[in-house]
Structure 1
Amino acid sequence: MKTLKFRHEKKHYINIADYYSIRTRLKYIAGTDKFAGADGTYKIRSLYFDTPANKALIEKLESFNHREKFRIRFYNDDPSYIKLEKKSKTNGLCLKRSAPLTREQCEQLLGGDIAWLAGAGHELLVELYAKMKHQLLRPKTVVDYRREAYIFEPGNIRITIDRDIGSGLFSQDLFNPNLPTVGIIHGGYIVLEVKYDEFLPEIIQDIIQTNHRRSTAISKYAACRMYG
């Protein structure tokens, strides 16, 4: 059984000049993500869940010490590989758990049929069922963006650069490849995320210049909820 481990996660806004500089240097020392296409990027689509009282959104905006959110996610408009994810944050450290889903299961869930979750055989699906029953957790917002990801093995470092972030507004039309979205980060800014275990090697600190850029509590879900 895989051991679950909390990790550090730092997020920064960067501009296009930062992006090209960081990208050029990363290519010399880090590998790329398995989902990347010929241009080094891939598309992520997520459907986030929340309660009628917007529990996940409020926990984020109020910086609760312990918070969580559920989402369904797939890549490059290809629904052959879909996963349910739960992302938790405690004392500033992050933990992510996931469970596989089929398109048919997703469509059942989005159609309001959730009874099958209780007997799905995966603890995360059972947890989602319990929270959909007792907290009235429901699909809320589609979030799209393009990601460029790099992996630096020493220290288990993952660096992601997210851009073209868009909100699907009030839609939960997860499998519509032509779903209209509204861009949510203005001024040409891009989101840089750095995830690591116990320490961040100096070589990575130098490349991404984290000492010169203030970490910020960016949430793509919260940003997309500005529109509804």
Structure 2
Amino acid sequence: MGAVPNTAHAQTPVLCSETSLVNAINAANAAGGDTLALVPSCTYQLTSAHGSGPTGPVGLPPITAPITLLGGGVTITRDPSAPAFRVLQVQGSANVPGTNGQLSLVGVTVRGGSAVPPFPGGGISNLGGSVSLLTSSVTGNTAVAGGGIYNDNGVVSLTASSVTGNSATASGGGIYVNSGGVTLFTTTVSGNTPDNCAPSGSTIGCT
């Protein structure tokens, strides 16, 4: 009998440093996608923006391919002394032609992002792509709208996750849906300022 092929998806390990994570995302985008295994319990602290897009500077390179960040007590955060920038941005073909951004976060906290006014999406900005959070959290981020998460013409799903302690100067302290859909599964969205989700009724289960 012939050998049984190994169908497990390979993972690329990423050392616990800003440079290693930036380089790994750039390589994954260029390769058309990858699963990046982050160091458990590591804090990846971003000291400068490493990307830009239609809505301002981004701490990590914009996600333009299917990429999974596997954590486990991992935090990705903007250094409090760094210039303002959001932490993550996903770019899909619906908004940015030629891209196929699909981001999955597993066991990752996104913290401390600050989108440059007047742009939305302090923690995660999804521009026509897809975002999936599993046992992850978005906290302590700020923007004009969508302090935690901003969704425009894309799809976002959160499972066993939380969006807490984010703020917006206008609305959607936790989540702002400009268009597209956000789905919550056993997920907490609370303690965001001035509200948790906007516009009202845009995210079922969010009050």
Q: What band does the TM-score fall into relative to the shorter chain?
A: under 0.3
Q: Using structure 2 for the length normalisation, give the TM-score.
A: 0.23
Higher RCO (C-alpha 8 Å, min separation 6): 1
Report which of the two has the higher share of helix.
1
Which protein is bigger by CA-based radius of gyration?
Answer: 1
Report which of the two has the higher share of strand.
2
Q: Using structure 1 for the length normalisation, give the TM-score.
A: 0.22
